[in-house]
């Protein structure tokens, strides 16, 4: 059964990648006029699948990092999340010997994975971008976090954001795919 499912999904791979590239391209257009943010670039020698749509923040401008923006988007039922958490920071690996991981943590603190399911509509992409832009503009103007009432204190991500899934309770999820 699993092999049949994989084969069926492989038949859709080209259309999935095309949609992922469309979504990432649309986000890039919608954020292009904000000088201190950028979508992850594509190497000149490669063609990205754009499997994740990752927005990168300038840490000198967004001094509170990505976490408060992610929390505020989640409060609006938008399935934003960290791009990924360094493996060494996950509970099963906390005691393992490792390098310092400073670059991975800097990436975690300055990036937001935006909803980019192959099933997301253009209107939903625009709604996500509008909500994200509003939060970015508010933080840039204040140069400080503007937390939504009732959300966790700065420095602690909500439990459901401490892994790769966001669940299904978000309007726009990063992980959902049409059947």
DSSP 141-162: HHTS--PPTTSPPTT---GGGS
In the predicted model, residues of the chain with pLDDT beneath 50 are: 144-179
Can you give the pLDDT at residue 152? 36
Can you give the pLDDT at residue 62? 86
Can you give the pLDDT at residue 141? 65
The upper half-sphere exposure of residue 159, i.e. CA atoms within 13 Å in the direction of its Cβ, equals: 0
Among 108, 70, 71, which residue's Cα sits nearest to residue 87? Answer: 108
The pair of structure tokens assigned to 75 is 């409060």
Can you give the pLDDT at residue 143? 62
Can you give the pLDDT at residue 145? 46
Among 127, 161, 165, which residue's Cα sits nearest to residue 173? Answer: 165
Can you give the pLDDT at residue 149? 43
- pTM equals 0.73
Can you give the pLDDT at residue 142? 66
């Amino acid at each position: 059964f699993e092999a049949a499912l994989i084969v069926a999904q492989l038949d859709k791979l080209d259309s999935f990648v095309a949609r992922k590239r469309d979504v990432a391209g649309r986000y890039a257009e919608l954020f292009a006029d904000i000088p201190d943010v950028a979508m992850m670039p594509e190497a000149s020698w490669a063609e990205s699948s754009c499997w994740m749509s990752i927005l990168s923040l300038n840490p000198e401008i967004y001094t509170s990092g990505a976490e408060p923006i992610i929390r505020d988007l989640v409060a609006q039922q938008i399935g934003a999340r960290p791009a990924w958490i360094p493996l060494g920071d996950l509970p099963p690996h906390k005691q393992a010997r490792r390098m310092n991981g400073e670059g991975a943590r800097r990436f975690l603190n300055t990036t937001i994975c935006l909803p980019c399911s192959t099933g997301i509509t253009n209107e939903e992409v625009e709604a996500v971008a509008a909500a994200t832009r509003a939060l970015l503009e508010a933080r840039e103007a204040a140069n400080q976090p503007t937390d939504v009432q009732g959300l966790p204190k700065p420095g602690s991500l909500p439990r459901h954001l401490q892994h790769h899934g966001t669940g299904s309770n978000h309007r726009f999820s990063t992980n959902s795919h049409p059947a």
